Amino acid sequence: MTALNSIRATSRSPLPKITVQIAKFMTVGVLNTAIDAGTYFALTRWLGLGSLPITAKGIAYVVGMVNSFFWNRTWTFESQGSAWRAAGLFTLTHVAALGINAGTMALSLDALGLPEIVALGLATAASFVWNFALNKVVVFKA
């Protein structure tokens, strides 16, 4: 079975719709996390932002956010609504999530002195629930 057929089969799953959406959201989240972390490490290790980890995290988050909008709109929530409306609400929702994400990163690094990889994980976890709930009930609501 090809990946595309697998995706199609998932959308016709006998599982409750929210369960399928959570699984899809998590799949998109894994991709976003890889994009976010890869961008963060590229910015801090190769592009001169090593002394500005919070700035680098913000930029990396935005790169992942663009990916998230595309996949969550078209695949996770299969939104048929206005792309412009969704993009506006998505941006507002994710600006707040960016604050949660970057704030968690700053708190983890500066106040708690945690290792960078732990701080990245905590920042991601802190914004996950916020993002799913608002994407489902506000941004891409049926």
Give DSSP secondary structure letters for 13-47: -SS-HHHHHHHHHHHHHHHHHHHHHHHHHHHHHTS
Model confidence over 3-51: pLDDT tens digits? Answer: 544 555 555 667 899 999 999 999 998 999 899 999 999 999 999 999 9
Range of the domain at 126: 16-139
Residue 1 domain-assigned (yes or no): no
Rounded-to-integer distance, Cα 46 and Cα 49, Å: 8
d(CA 102, CA 119): 10
Chain segment 69-115, per-residue pLDDT in tens: 999 999 999 999 999 999 999 999 989 988 999 999 999 999 999 99
Residue 101 lies in a domain: yes
Would you say residue 2 lies in a domain?
Answer: no
The answer to whether 138 touches 89, Cβ cutoff 8 Å, is: yes
Give a yes or no: residue 65 inside a domain: yes
Structural domains of the chain, count? 1
Residue 5 lies in a domain: no
Does residue 89 lie within any of the structural domains?
Answer: yes
Please give the backbone phi and psi of residue 59, each rounded to the nearest 5 degrees, phi first: -65, -45
Give a yes or no: residue 10 inside a domain.
no
Residue 6 domain-assigned (yes or no):
no
